[in-house]
Structure 1
Amino acid sequence: MSLKKAFILAIAAFLTMALASAAFAETKIVIKPKVDAFALFLDDSPSMGQEYMATGNSKVVEGLNALKRLNSVVPELGYKSALYTMPEFTTYSPAATYSRNNIARGLSAVPTDTGFFMSTPIGNSFEDLDAKLSNWPGKFAVIFVSDGLSNTGNKPGIVVSKMAKKYGDRFCLHVISVADTARGKALLKNLASRTSCGVYVEADQLKDKAVLDKFAQDVFYTQEEELIVEVVEEVVEVVPAPVPVEDKIVFRNLNFGFDKYKITDEMLPSLEEAAALLQANPNLDILVGGHTDSTGPTAYNQGLSERRANSVATWLEKNGIEGERITAKGYGETNPKYDNNTREGRKLNRRVEIDIEN
C-alpha cells in the first residue's frame, strides 16, 4: 500500500472512531418583541406650552425630545406603530409597520405652539384613542406623554380602567411625564397603574442612556440568551479495500457556524491529529478547500469560503506543517454536498475539506 493511501486510511479510521457524533454549542442574545403594536400619544393641550422645570423648553418640546430619544433606541422588530396627539385627536404617523424614519418624520411634524383653547379632556381623548385601537390585534402598548393636567370631560382613570378591562393583558399603558405639579404627577402615575404592565418615567430621566435603554426594553422587547446546539452525526465508514489516492478527506467536525470562519476549540482535536499525520508523512501535499451554504450573495460567499480555507491552512502552518505543502482554495457555494433547502443541509455545507494532491 502506498504512503498516500495509508495516510488516507489512517485519517478515515480516526474519523470513524472519534467523530461519529459531533456537537457544537454556543450562546447568543436574541431580541424578541414584547408587543405586536404600539401608539405614541402626545398631549398637545395649552398647558403643555408652559416652560418645563426651568429647562428653557416648553413641556411639549421636552415631551417630543423624550419621544425622539426613545425612537432612536427602539429596535425595528416588525411591530405596528402610530403617532397621535390630543386633545384635538390628530394622526401624525398612521398605523403601519414600525419604521424609525417614519416615526421621526411624524414627530418632526407635530407643532410646538399649542392652541389657545382652555379645555384638556384627557379622558375623552383616550376614548378617541380607543376607537383607533379597537381593531388592533395582539398585544399593544400606548406611550402617553403629558403633564397630567385634565380639567374637563370624562375622568381619565375611569376611561383607562375600562380599556384595561376591555383588552385585558393585551394592553399596556406607559407614561412619560412632563408634569410639574403634584396633581399632574399623581394623575399620570395613577393612569400607568391602571394596567398591570404600565411603566412611569419622567421625561428628564430619559436623558440618561441607561434609563432610556431600560424603559425601551420594559416597553418594547426582551433580551434572551439562547443556547444554540448543532449536532452532526456523520459516520465515516472504514473501507477495507485500498482507497484511491484521489479520494477526498472530509473532516466532519470542521463545520463552521453561520458567517463564521475562525477556528474553534471543538475543531482542535481533529486538526491536531491531521497535523501529526502530515508530520509523519512529509512527502504529502494537501489542498484545503473551503465551502459555504447558499445563504447570502454569491460574491460574499466566495470570500467567506476563502477565509475558511485560509483559517485551516494557517492553523496547520503554525502547527508545524510547511506552508509550501499547503494550498488553500475557496469554492463559495458552488459545490454543495447537502441540501441547502434544509437547516441541517446548510450546516453541513459550511465546511472545510482536505484533498491529497498528486
Structure 2
Amino acid sequence: MHNRNSTLILTVTLAILLAFGSMAFAESKIVLKPKIDSFAYFVDTSPSMSQSYGSTGSPKIIAGLNALKRLNNVVPELGYDSALYAMPDFSTYSPKATFSRSAMASGLASIPSDLPFFQSTPMGEGFANLDKVVAKWQGKFAVIFVSDGLTNSGRNPARVVSDMVKKYGDRFCLHIISVADTPRGKANLKHLSSMTPCGVYVDATDLADKAILDKFAQDVFYTQEEELIVEIVEEVVVPPVVPVQEKIVFRNFNFGFDKYKITDEMVPALTEAASMLDEYPNLKVMVGGHTDSSGSEAYNQGLSERRAKSVADWLAANGVAPERLQVKGYGELNPKYDNKTKEGRKLNRRVEIDVEE
C-alpha cells in the first residue's frame, strides 16, 4: 500500500562536475498522492431510481450517472484499482483493474437507464453482495455509492455496512452521491456515510459546481503534496567531464499536535538525511520549524523553534557538523496548507530541510 503519511518531499537534483563555483535554481510543484489502493463505484438501479429527481426533470438514475461521470472525469490516474458494480441484482459493469478514466467511462455508459418498474429494493442484500467482492481486496479501499436511499425489503443496509466497518476498520471508506428526494432517503444515506469516519456525503446536483466536484474528488481519492526542486549547476574546468546525475531526497518531518520531540517513525528518514549530508560535505541546509494556527502566535513561535532544534540536534548527534546546520522557527506565519481543515493543520506541523548553498 502507498504511504499515507502526509509528509512533504524535497527533491534536490545535483549536477556533480569538477568545479570551483556554483549557481542554484529552484522551483516547486504540487504532486498528487493516492489516499487509497482501490475503489468501487456502486450504483443503485432499483425501480425508484427511474422516478424524476427534484427540479431536474431527469430520472434519478440519469442524474446519478451524470454526477458519477463528472466525478470520473476529474479522478487522477494514480495507479489505484477500480471497479463498477450495480444493485439490487448485483452486476459487474467494469471488473477490478488499474483505474483508467476512459475504461471506466465505457463501463458507466453500459449501465441501463431504462429500469424495471416492478421490483423490490433490497439495498442490504446489495451491500452484502458487494462485501463478498471487496473481502478479497488488499489495502485501503473506498466505495462511492449512488442512490436515492430508499429500501423496502431484505436486510437492513446499515447493519450490513456496520458489519463491514467491523471487518475492515479504517481500511474502508463509504462515500455517498445522493439523488434522494425524500426525508427518509436522505436520512438513510447520511447515516450510511457517517458510519465510516472518512465518509463524505454530497448531493448529485452539487457536483455540477466545479469547486465542490474537485473537493469531493480530493477528499475521496488523493492528497496534494509539494516538492521543491533545487538544481545546483557547478562551474566546469577543462577538460570537460561527462556530468553524473544524482538525486538526493530530503524528507520533511510532520509532528503531532503540540509535539516537538523526535519519534521512532522519523528516525529512518533522519538517518537517510544524515547519510546524504555526509555524502555531500559542502552542502549546508536550513532546518526550519513550522506550526499550524492552533494556539497563540507567541506560543507557536517557540514551538516551531523547538521542532527545528530537535531535528538539527539529532542530525548533529549523528555525524552532521553543526556549522552546516542553520536553525529557524517560523511559527504559524508560513502555512502551506489550509489551517481550516484537519489535514491542512497536520501538514503545517512540519520541519523542512532546505538547501542553503
Asked if 1:38 corresponds to 2:39, the answer is yes
**CA distances 1:131-167 after superposition (whole Å, capped 9, x unpaired):** 1101111111100000000111111111111111111
Distance 2:145 2:34 in 1: 20
Larger Rg: 1
Q: CA deviation at 1:46?
A: 0.4
2:143 match: 142
1:104 match: 105
Q: CA deviation at 1:229?
A: 3.3
1:295 match: none
Asked if 1:129 corresponds to 2:130, the answer is yes
Distance 2:161 2:44 in 1: 15
Give the secondary structure class of the aligned counterpart of 1:54: helix
1:185 match: 186
Asked if 1:337 corresponds to 2:242, the answer is yes
2:64 match: 63
**CA distances 1:288-325 after superposition (whole Å, capped 9, x unpaired):** xxxxxxxxxxxxxxxxxxxxxxxxxxxxxxxxxxxxxx
Q: CA deviation at 1:48?
A: 0.4
Q: CA deviation at 1:39?
A: 0.1
Distance 2:168 2:29 in 1: 34
Distance 1:105 1:36 in 2: 22
Give the secondary structure class of the aligned counterpart of 1:211: helix
The normalised TM-score by structure 1 is 0.61
Give the secondary structure class of the aligned counterpart of 2:54: coil
TM alignment of 1:239-318, pairs within 5 A: 247=238
Give the secondary structure class of the aligned counterpart of 2:62: helix
Q: CA deviation at 1:225?
A: 1.7
1:277 match: none
1:208 match: 209
Q: CA deviation at 1:86?
A: 0.2
Aligned length: 230
Distance 2:178 2:122 in 1: 17
TM alignment of 1:163-178, pairs within 5 A: 163-178=164-179
Give the secondary structure class of the aligned counterpart of 1:75: coil
1:119 match: 120
Distance 2:93 2:151 in 1: 22
Taking a change above 3 Å as real, the CA distance of residues 55 and 236 of structure 1, as seen in their structure-2 partners, is closer
Where relative contact order (Cα < 8 A, 6+ residues apart) is larger, the structure is: 2
Aligned-partner residue type, residue 87 of structure 1: P
Give the secondary structure class of the aligned counterpart of 2:33: strand
Distance 2:247 2:205 in 1: 47
Give the secondary structure class of the aligned counterpart of 1:218: helix
Aligned-partner residue type, residue 106 of structure 2: R
Q: CA deviation at 1:23?
A: 4.1
Question: 5+ unaligned residues in a row in structure 2: which ranges?
Answer: 1-18, 249-357
**CA distances 1:217-247 after superposition (whole Å, capped 9, x unpaired):** 1111111122233456x5867xxxxxxxxx4
Question: 5+ unaligned residues in a row in structure 1: which ranges?
Answer: 1-14, 238-246, 251-335, 345-358
Distance 1:112 1:178 in 2: 14
Q: Which consecutive segments of 4 or more residues in structure 1 shift more than 4 A?
A: 234-237
Q: CA deviation at 1:67?
A: 0.6
Distance 1:106 1:132 in 2: 18
Q: Please report the RMSD computed on the Cα atoms of aligned residues, expressed in angstroms.
A: 2.0
Distance 1:136 1:171 in 2: 11
Aligned-partner residue type, residue 141 of structure 1: A
Distance 1:231 1:134 in 2: 49
Distance 1:69 1:43 in 2: 17
